Chains A and B, each alone.
Chain A
């Protein structure tokens, strides 16, 4: 069976592959036999090989070097291009982070291939599904040149174990001078939180203009915490300074696709819908019965968020 290269996205804080990697390994099985590619500083692959094997990696290519960690994007694309040349895979699947998309783009040019970003599904014939225009249009696309390269949008595919050998193979890394131009000086974490990451979370609770102040966002955080979910914010809330930009859900922020999305005090402007429309279940709380968010909601409560949400939080906590 043809090999499909899957770039592992790692979570240094948690010491393992991100969920997006397991999703990519699962999606890649439609096209052939997944082979995980781990690119990072020396020691990166230790301890994560077993998880990759559990989720279907017949092989684990390990490319470790300080250079791939010290420079932005370009070295990883170089390593992948080297592997594509050596292994002639049927396709390459990469988790759709900003870095993942940039690696895909560079790899496409290096290998004379086409690439498709933010795909939500990959069929056996290579046809990928994408959502366009704020989720309003569903598109089927194909790569027509070279080795198809896909970036898989987070939370689109449910990771399913499929134990495989996970045979480790070391890849010699020689990063070119051309790929060593953009140096990463520091990686700064500003918001340390015990909540799941927005784009990976199964449940997201977002607040909008209706929350009315930064202090009031504790109401949103309370509901999120009672559900073990992440906190998001609409652009209106972010622009008003209620919540940091890195939590913005929408056209110019994050795109999320959780099992449950709860929109609180969010009217549902197209800017916001673009980032959450593909959520499995959508719940809205808004005092305006005409708010467009209710058109999307599976369940809506017309009411004052400051009475409904704290009471709901209390009841959910009481159920535990």
Chain B
């Protein structure tokens, strides 16, 4: 089983994140960058499938040169090798353009199963499986809280409000995973050392046969016009409960005409 895991490096969602005022793109150069949290679940799932069925796990990322840190994390967890698409022309690409780059990179790999996180914590567009399914003609199995591979079929429980949908498709397919699917392993010391020797192939747009003018900020299908920080909230009221906390709370709700 050849498995490709899509990994994205993002600014740490626990730190302060900003847009770059010079071109309104995510300020990645100055950010505290980490592997997208949700991707770790996809990596774990890939490793679980590999352990059960054999095969190879390849990590694929599109991002600036610094994204190697995210790749190393995935390799240290146990992925076998990586492909890093890096080209300055990609900067500022929208989801539509990025999906074209990922689709081209996938087309140069052998895969039975593509896994990715259900969302990235920076853009939160959460539709890469749908975009890649559309481009590559392979089925999407998105939003999984459980994945089962049986022969040439993949079946997931697609997480929904208050339940799940049981959904299946033939392989090769693209599956995205929520954080309910497993508990990602921590890289072992041995894994971290081994990761340093694992192959990472770097590709440019030219290597993928993509015309650089079709990606990047200038030809993106959507653009950020302007942005601003959320206006600070007016000073709230804070009261200490001295036996009258509930009364004050209900009084506030009544004043707001909520009760």
List residues of chain A with CB under 8 Å of any chain B CB. 72-74, 77, 98, 101-106, 108-110, 113-118, 127, 131-146, 178, 181-193, 197-199, 203, 227, 245-246, 251-252, 259-260, 269-271, 274, 277, 281-283, 285, 289, 294-304, 307-312, 314-316, 319
Contact = CB atoms under 8 A, between A and B. Distances in A.
A311 B246 contact: yes
Contact of A73 (B140, B164, B241): B140
B253 A316 contact: yes
Contacts of B237: 298-300
Contact of A117 (B126, B234, B258): B126
A114 B178 CA distance: 26
Nearest to A108: B96
Contact of A189 (B130, B134, B162, B226): B162
Interface stretch (B49-57, B59-67, B217-225): B217-225
A160 B254 CA distance: 25
A141 B229 contact: no
Given A134-B17, A181-B173, 17 more contacts: A98-B126, A101-B127, A105-B134, A108-B96, A109-B135, A137-B230, A140-B225, A182-B168, A246-B161, A246-B162, A251-B13, A252-B38, A285-B249, A289-B238, A297-B238, A300-B236, A310-B246
Closest 5 pairs between A and B when the two form their complex, measured CB to CB: A303-B241, A114-B221, A311-B246, A105-B127, A181-B139
Given A136-B17, A319-B259, A116 B222 contact: yes
Given A105-B95, A285-B249, A315-B250, A190 B164 contact: yes
B189 interface: no
A271 B37 CA distance: 12
B222 A187 contact: no
7 contacts: A72-B140, A137-B19, A188-B166, A245-B159, A246-B161, A299-B238, A300-B237
Nearest to A112: B221
Contacts of A72: 140-142, 158, 165, 167
A197 B162 CA distance: 9
With most chain A CB atoms within 10 A of its CB, the pick from B38, B122, B162, B178 is B162
With most chain A CB atoms within 10 A of its CB, the pick from B122, B163, B170 is B163
Contact of B221 (A140, A146, A312): A146
A143 B162 contact: no
Contact of A302 (B119, B229, B239): B239
A312 B13 contact: no
